[in-house]
Amino acid sequence: MNLRYEGKTARLDVSDGFGILKYYKEHQDEASTLGVAAVLSQVVALKVNGVLVDLSFSLGPADTVELVTLSSPEGLDVMRHTASHVMAQAVLRLYPGAKLGVGPTIENGFYYDILLEKPIGDEDLPTIESEMKKIIEEKLPVVREEMTREKALEWCEKNHQPFKAEIIRDLEGETFSFYRQGEFVDLCRGPHLPNTRFLKAFKLLHTAGAYWRGDEKNPMLTRIYGTAFATKEDLENYLHLLEETKKRDHRRLGKELGLFSFHEEGPGLPFWKPKGVVLKNTLIEFMRAHQRRLGYVEVETPTMLKDDLWRISGHMENFKENMFFLEKDGENYAIKPMNCPGGMLLYKEELHSYRELPLKVAEFGKVHRYERSGVLQGLLRVRGFTQDDAHIFTTPEGLKDAIREIIELVDVVYRTFGFSYSTALSTRPEKSMGTDEQWELATSSLKAALEESGIAYTLQEGEGAFYGPKIEYHLKDALGRTHQCGTIQLDMNLPERFDLTYVGEDGKPHRVIMLHRAILGSLERFIAILIEHYGGKFPFWLAPVQVAVLPVSDRFVEYGCEVKRALERAGIRVTVDTSSEKLGYKIRQAQLEQVPYMLVVGEKEAAEKKVSVRHREEGDKGSVSLETLVEELKRQNRFPGLE
């Protein structure tokens, strides 16, 4: 590394054998060569005037430059992008004639979609990894090249890459960037690592099928997923997290715990088993208890309504591709994708005064939305789900207080489940309804409520609903993953479309303001998150089966049933294992089912009207009278947050 001064500017020339990095930085006194050298050892890209570029980018004296290292999010993204190219190069070496689709980076990794003459599977990944390591050891410079549209299409034809040609035809402009590493060339905007040797900690994860451009009419490609990190330690930590995630997968645990299932006769439509229904209903009752405390009323609206209603609401214009329709007796109906329009009809039935506002109307409504089969994912992405929906009708004067009350309720609910969360304010999307004035008032009101509540938030430009801006809540689970769940949406548009008013203090009609609110969001999705957050070990009040009574032999089944009846009278969910299996087997079975309490009953317990208590985490807790245990479990079975 050479350092020379040009006035108050220090120019660094760093030669790495692959090109020269010229970095300009203003200095008031002297340049810290030691500090700069330490940073440059990990530099893989630059941000020039805020734009991410390759190290080979030609700099000018007036450019503002930031160094991008492997440890930064941008550096990781550059590395993973290069990893996808190395993987594609390895595939082409192993499977000549493969047709390349796209190979983007994703959260924590990358993938590449490839059409192969003979599909490959997870068992082929070690072979591809081995070839990738050879490419890395070859220390190939990664060089950016540019081609005209004509030359780019010629390259696609010569190399038999029809998907790349399709992309080029769809792109604007007459010049396209390609990246070369050894014999491998790929259409790409970059940037990339300067050399394949920088890629040291990577792993291919699994394969899947993916239609070209997500269209079921197009060919099915093989999607190969992988990940890469700056260090082997970071990679090992991530792979450990993946293993833990697999153990907690809600689809596996949902089957093992007997909560739900899916059938090909209803893709994306969960079948709830008895224990799953208990879990779902307990969540609903938990929310009902909190809503009663705050003065909510509850309604239920029809599952299907005439399509005229959805034209008035704007859903036919803005949401039609996500809706299901049917026709009967010459009438066209839509199955509701949202509960809102039905709630509008109910509000309009009566004359409302400012004195009764805010009116808080809750609905645990079942909605259906069309999702492509390729994106369906257990309970996390379904076509039919239940929302803990609510619509709050208020005056302009009561708006901030109404929003703040919801914010406080959200906090109580999420803390109950042990979630930390972040908050975002999503603003007007490109496709929307309403006037600029309505959107400005709605957005500023949500912003003011957040700030007055002292809540930090990020701004998500253009991410609001088509009818209004929204506050979004992103939960962090026990594995550190984030999930978008709750929303508070301010809507001045639907009240306008449905002509919803209230009689003000002046005796005249005024346009009501409406808030949409969901805290759990989709109950199906929230249950999936809970299963993985707890690893199937639900807290006592929420567990589908709270107590398992385990008679040591058939002689004590009768007393076991007596214990069961006493607990049921106290509102405890309990089962009795009446099988002839040995006690050790019964205990293991109850542990596999994640039952919080196991009560062993034998000769001594039956004689003394006691039970021997085993806890799921704490183990043997000794013998206690049945009466004492009932009182203790009643105390534990209260809904949290209502004190």
pLDDT, one tens digit per residue, over 119-173 is 899 999 999 999 999 999 999 999 999 999 999 999 999 999 999 999 999 998 8
Per-residue model confidence (pLDDT) at position 40: 55
Residue that terminates a domain, selected from 14, 37, 69: 69
Look-up of token digits 């990990």: 42
Distance of CA 93 to the CA centre of its chain: 36
Q: Is pLDDT larger for residue 82 or for residue 41?
A: 82
Regarding whether 310 and 363 lie in a shared domain, the answer is yes
Residue 542 lies in a domain: no
Regarding whether 486 and 465 lie in a shared domain, the answer is yes
Residue 269 lies in a domain: no
Across residues 36-63, what is the average pLDDT? 76
Regarding whether 55 and 137 lie in a shared domain, the answer is no
CATH number at residue 568: 3.40.50.800
Across residues 590-618, what is the average pLDDT? 93
CA distance linking residue 225 with residue 335, whole number of Å: 36
pLDDT above 80 for 1? no
What confidence category does residue 612 fall into, taking pLDDT thresholds of 50, 70 and 90?
very high
Regarding whether 234 and 367 lie in a shared domain, the answer is no
Across residues 356-370, what is the average pLDDT? 94
Residue 194 lies in a domain: yes
Take residue 359 and report the two structure tokens written for it.
């009116």
Do 237 and 480 touch, CB atoms closer than 8 A? Answer: no
Across residues 381-387, what is the average pLDDT? 93
Do 298 and 362 touch, CB atoms closer than 8 A? Answer: yes
Residue 132 lies in a domain: yes
Per-residue model confidence (pLDDT) at position 20: 33
577, 579, 585, 591: CA torsion to nearest 10: -20
Per-chain mean pLDDT for the chain: 88
Per-residue model confidence (pLDDT) at position 18: 32
CA distance linking residue 494 with residue 514, whole number of Å: 8
Residue 267 lies in a domain: no
Per-residue model confidence (pLDDT) at position 279: 97
What confidence category does residue 11 fall into, taking pLDDT thresholds of 50, 70 and 90?
very low
Across residues 377-392, what is the average pLDDT? 93
In eight-state DSSP terms, residue 195 is: B
CA distance linking residue 378 with residue 267, whole number of Å: 10
Q: Which domain holds residue 623?
A: 547-636
Regarding whether 568 and 524 lie in a shared domain, the answer is no
Residues 6+ apart with CB under 8 A from 377: none
Regarding whether 33 and 79 lie in a shared domain, the answer is no
Q: Residue 610: exposed, middle, or buried by beta-carbon count in 10 A (0-12, 13-18, 19+)?
A: buried
Regarding whether 613 and 475 lie in a shared domain, the answer is no
Residues 6+ apart with CB under 8 A from 568: 574
Regarding whether 522 and 555 lie in a shared domain, the answer is no
Distance of CA 116 to the CA centre of its chain: 31
- Annotate 87-144 with three-state secondary structure: HHHHHHHHCCCCEECCCCEECCEEEEEEECCCCCCHHHHHHHHHHHHHHHHCCCECEE
CATH number at residue 127: 3.30.980.10
Regarding whether 525 and 557 lie in a shared domain, the answer is no
Could you check whether the bond before residue 358 is cis, i.e. omega within 30 degrees of 0?
yes
Count other Cβ atoms within 10 Å, centred on residue 117: 9
Residue 256 lies in a domain: no
- Of the candidates 11, 13, 72, the one whose C-alpha atom is nearest the C-alpha of residue 45 is 72
Residue that terminates a domain, selected from 506, 534, 562: 534
Across residues 370-379, what is the average pLDDT? 84
Per-residue model confidence (pLDDT) at position 42: 76
Regarding whether 464 and 571 lie in a shared domain, the answer is no
Regarding whether 458 and 484 lie in a shared domain, the answer is yes
Residue 588 lies in a domain: yes
Take residue 54 and report the two structure tokens written for it.
């390759």
Residue 266 lies in a domain: no
Domain count, the chain: 4
pLDDT, one tens digit per residue, over 469-493 is 889 999 988 888 888 888 998 887 8
pLDDT, one tens digit per residue, over 255-297 is 999 999 999 899 999 999 999 999 999 999 999 999 999 999 9
Bridge pairing between strands 2-6 and 9-15: antiparallel
Regarding whether 556 and 500 lie in a shared domain, the answer is no
Take residue 169 and report the two structure tokens written for it.
């035809």
**Dihedral sign of CA atoms 312, 317, 318, 319 in order:** positive
Q: Is pLDDT larger for residue 172 or for residue 92?
A: 92
What confidence category does residue 394 fall into, taking pLDDT thresholds of 50, 70 and 90?
very high
pLDDT, one tens digit per residue, over 494-513 is 898 899 999 999 999 999 99
CA distance linking residue 132 with residue 134, whole number of Å: 5
Is 397 in a helix, a strand, or coil? coil
Active site members: 340, 369, 387, 389, 391, 470, 516
Do 446 and 469 touch, CB atoms closer than 8 A? Answer: yes
